[in-house]
Structure 1
Amino acid sequence: MGAWGVLAFDNDTANDWAYDLESADDLSLVEGALDKVERLGAGYLDADVACEALAACEVVARLKGRPGYTNAYTEKVDRWVDAHRLDPPVEIINRGNAAIDRILGEKSELRELWLEAGETEWVDAVADLRRRLSG
């Protein structure tokens, strides 16, 4: 995973996922990212799967009017959100929160990578995303 910051779209995996979002007309790509996390059950969570799930949660938070931040890496997502004024169902919000729990859990490669690098700011960024998703 190539990452240059702690925010959801500050890595190659999330940006690649966001390019796929541009061709979607519904929340199927968001659901697909959350499905990948759920299919693993209690197994070890790969960093790329986690990055896609965080990107999906960020899209849902933005659809709820809670972007938190915008930058050059969120432009394509923000354009998509503006063009698709969807109201995310509670089920997707709950699934997003469950995915965040898994990503912050013990069996998460992404969590391990950030903590090994001494980046506690990443935990704060994910906690902020959870607040925006839930709020």
Structure 2
Amino acid sequence: MGAWGFTTFDNDDAADWLDELSDHQSLALVRETIAAVLEVEPDEEVDAPLASAALAASELIAAAIGRPSGAARKQEELMIWISKMRPSPDAALIADALSAIDRILGPHSELRALWEESDDYAAWTDDVTQLRARLAF
């Protein structure tokens, strides 16, 4: 899985997504990443790399609306990008992020299945659930 911790940014896929974000001047990558999760058929599995990227995108949204996690605040490149671009996620993007998180926490999620096999499953689930709560309004 390439993870060194249970929070959203503690894995290679989220780090790669953050690197890609620096090449973008808008929320386009965020929208594309979230949409890619929602495009997976309901009975098909959302793969772990996509799920990790979508959680990172959702953390960006939460930070952009003034509800960053401690883990997001520690991501210097993320916080610089937000302060520089001043993104303004709309209600539809936030709703899509919530739906994507629900898919990632659901039964057809490779990432959830991988975490279920670890000792940190409860901590990971709690972290993702807190992200969802920060996005819900």
Is the TM value for this pair above 0.5? yes
Trace 1:23-62 onto structure 2 (pairs within 5 A): 23-42=23-42, 43-62=44-63
Percent sequence identity is: 41
CA distance in 2 between partners of 1:69 and 1:116 (Å): 25
Aligned residues: 135
Partner-residue secondary structure (3-state), 1:87: coil
Unaligned runs of 5+ in 2: none
The aligned runs of 1:94-105 (5 Å cut-off) are: 94-105=95-106
TM superposition score normalised by structure 1: 0.95
Give the unaligned 5+ runs of structure 1. Answer: none
Could you tell me how far 1:6 is from its partner in structure 2?
A: 1.1
Cα distance in 2 between the residues matched to 1:50 and 1:71: 17
Q: Deviations over 1:27-57 (max 9, x none)?
A: 0000111121112121111000100100000
Contact 2:7 2:127 in 1 (8 A): yes
The C-alpha deviation readout for 1:65-95, integer Å capped at 9, x for no partner, is: 1112147861111110111112110000000
Please name the residue that 1:12 is paired with: 12
- Deviation above 6 Å: which 4+ runs of structure 1? none
Normalised to the residue count of structure 2, the TM-score between the two structures is 0.93
Residue aligned with 1:45, SS = coil
Question: Using the alignment, how far apart are the partners of 2:119 and 2:10 within structure 1?
Answer: 17
What SS class does the counterpart of residue 31 from structure 1 fall into? helix
